[in-house]
Amino acid sequence: MENYDIAVIGSGPGGYVAAIRSAQLGYKTVIIEKYDTLGGTCTNVGCIPTKALLDSTHHYAEAHHQFRQHGIITDKVELDFSQMYKRKSEVVVKNTDGLHFLMNKNKITHLKGTAEFINNSTIKIVNGTESKEITAKNYIIATGSKPSSIPGVEIDKKRIISSTEALSLKEKPQSMVIIGGGVIGVEMASIFSRIGTKVTILEYADHLIAAMDHELGKTLQKILRKGSVDIRLNQAVYKAESSDSSARVFFKDKNGAEDQLEAEYVLVAVGRMPYVQGLGLENTNVEIDNHGFIKVNANNQTAVSTIYAIGDVIGGAMLAHKAEEEGVFVVETIHGKKHPIHYNRIPSVVYTWPEVASVGYTEEYLKKNNIAYNVGKFPFSASARARASMDTDGFAKVLVDPKYGEVLGVHIIGARAADLIAQGVIAQEYEVTAEDMFRISYAHPTYSETLKEAYLIASGQGAVNI
């Protein structure tokens, strides 16, 4: 029986980063993955392919709606749906190939198969008809999550689908109802509405992307509606039915009035659930909470001190980069080099266009907890760079402590918000004040100047630039 220092179960962003850091620190490392490719949901059927399609459809929409204003005349713009999806798949392959290269480079053993704990110290790996047992001094469970649904709605992967199936369609859908207006829902709505699919979002809450600052969701709603997405809020879906060629969804509004919609596809985007099935946790002392997540302490240890868990499988924000941070944290904790993770300083991003990004406290949180704050808000429409690129939708908003100038939250909806938010993360991580943030030099003209102006306004000064 082979023995390892660290065995990582699952090869998503948390798992492969943990394995690489483990090997870098000199540990004999193995990573176990049941699929043929490494990378987990994010690389294969999540973050990466979604962003590839978001970029492709953004270019297509620009060609239709903006090129002429730029002085670019195209006689006929056509959609090659097959090529668009082919390119998406090529992007995925390049990323998965890169991960296999990194495993080899770092001399990490890669075992294909499903891992099942036999007891607290041994796992069995099954690959088809073959199986083997290994032991490790420490285990890291990084099995991630899978799409969840709601009562009355069964994902049949044919007409009632999840984002996974949406990324493998053979033809452009003519119509689609999306259940859920969270991150996955609005990104999928962006992809398909841009290529001419009639898209309707049914959201239970009274605004989109409910976990983020509410002003962001309200602004995104206006932008998506301008892009022909039908958005219906305060709708409770209770049933969905499918046939060979379409699906029908049934829902009620907050007053109980019933309605229904039929579309070529119904896409369920109501969140994700932890993937713990088949791990054999019942053979260990590892504990599961009422929602199916693995319980861990502040060191990401389970009830078994040598078994750790990270990423989606333990709950919290289901973000690839959150899992990566936890992967490094666990390995370095094992190594005796522990550093804390400040979860409030992990950014959230929505890759619509314009993009939406957020870090720190929301305005709703500060109000609810009676925390004093100043607001600095600056519109992209007043940015010279945004005008030059015709990307004037959105704003940058900063929330600042009025006494010490501490940056409490940064919320952006606008061009390249996904990249701009890193500045807000730095401000929070190193407790830089709003005055420090507006006194540094910003290149002109850039989108980042919207943040400079927001910091100025939050500090009691007026905007100084465009």
Tokens of 425: 């993360």
Burial of 380 (0-12, 13-18, 19+ CB in 10 A): buried
| Whether 87 contacts 52, CB under 8 Å | yes
Residue 402 CB coordination number (10 Å):
13
Distance, CA of 284 to chain centre: 31
State the number of CA atoms in the 13 A half-sphere of 215 facing the CB: 19
**Spatial distance between the Cα atoms of 157 and 432, rounded to a whole number of angstroms:** 48
pTM: 0.96
Within the chain, all domains assigned CATH 3.30.390.30 are found at 354-458
Topology (CATH) of 354-458 = Enolase-like; domain 1 (3.30.390)
What are the tokens at 172? 């452009």
The single residue of 65, 70, 342, 444 carrying the catalytic annotation is 444
β-bridge pairing 130-141 and 122-127: antiparallel
CATH 3.50.50.60 spans which residues of the chain? 2-147+273-343, 160-270
Tokens 């490094």 correspond to 328
| CATH class of the domain at 2-147+273-343 | alpha beta
Written out in words, the top-level CATH class of the domain with range 160-270 is alpha beta
Using an 8 Å Cβ cutoff, are 466 and 378 in contact?
no
Query: CA-CA distance, 312 to 123, in Å (whole number)?
Result: 21
Q: In angstroms, what CA-CA distances link 433 with 136, 268, 376, 453, 455?
A: 46, 42, 13, 14, 9
- Tens of each residue's pLDDT in the chain, 466 residues: 899 999 999 999 999 999 999 999 999 999 999 999 999 999 999 999 999 999 999 999 999 999 999 999 988 899 999 999 999 999 999 999 999 999 999 999 999 999 999 999 999 999 999 999 999 999 999 999 999 999 999 999 999 999 999 999 999 999 999 999 999 999 999 999 999 999 999 999 999 999 999 999 999 999 999 999 999 999 999 999 999 999 999 999 999 999 999 999 999 999 999 999 999 999 999 999 999 999 999 999 999 999 999 999 999 999 999 999 999 999 999 999 988 999 999 999 999 999 999 999 999 999 999 999 999 999 999 999 999 999 999 999 999 999 999 999 999 999 999 999 999 999 999 999 999 999 999 999 999 999 999 999 999 987 666 6
User: Which tokens sit at 351?
Assistant: 């890759």
339 is catalytic: no
